[in-house]
Chain A
Amino acid sequence: AQSVTQLGSHVSVSEGALVLLRCNYSSSVPPYLFWYVQYPNQGLQLLLKYTTGATLVKGINGFEAEFKKSETSFHLTKPSAHMSDAAEYFCAVTPNSGNTPLVFGKGTRLSVIA
């Protein structure tokens, strides 16, 4: 079975500062990993995904994440926060067969302070 733990239900950063949202996963088989973003009153939008290949994955809006198998982590980063990054972020995992429903973490709400 798969599970995801997102450390910190709420993270606050200053505009221009580094964004780091933490995600650790548990999976009995090699995982595929995803980060989604949710803006108020909207559905989830895919930011980036790791399936195979390069472990450093670049996504939209300047976000990137690195798959670290030894640490079972897939942390999301952005060098410089923008006000428009304020949203809720979800990490998700599925086994690499790909045909099992995604299991989501409980989310991290990112606030950006001017």
Chain B
Amino acid sequence: KAGVTQTPRYLIKTRGQQVTLSCSPISGHRSVSWYQQTPGQGLQFLFEYFSETQRNKGNFPGRFSGRQFSNSRSEMNVSTLELGDSALYLCASSLTVDRTGYGYTFGSGTRLTVV
């Protein structure tokens, strides 16, 4: 079965612009989580959606937002990009919000570079 699909794989944006990243979870998975990965901070939780509702939110500014559609696909948006937003953005899906079965299944990520 298909894995978690993130698009695009690579993105270069200019400071001040906005960007939208997309994530399609494994078929049947209803929970989608987003993480930001940087060399200095490691993986930091952004937010989680389940059945189109935001269930958890990390400690990021309001410039970071997301949503989930009825087919469980999710998008995250970053407005007014800053250089520090350059990172690998990882999407992870799970069957439900209960991760005791197997944690997450991750996509390959979107590498965002802000110049």
> Which A residues form the contact surface with B (CB < 8 A)?
32, 34, 36, 41-46, 49, 51, 90, 92, 94, 96, 98-107
Contacts and interface: CB of A to CB of B under 8 A. Distances in A.
A5 B82 CA distance: 29
Interface string B92-115: 100001111011111111000000
Given A42-B108, A43-B108, A101-B58, A92 B103 contact: yes
Contacts of A98: 97-100
Is the interface on chain B under 10, 10 to 19, 20 to 34, or 35 or more residues? 20 to 34
A102 B42 contact: no
A58 to B, nearest CB: 15
Nearest to A45: B106
Contacts of B100: 32, 51, 96, 98
A32 B33 CA distance: 18
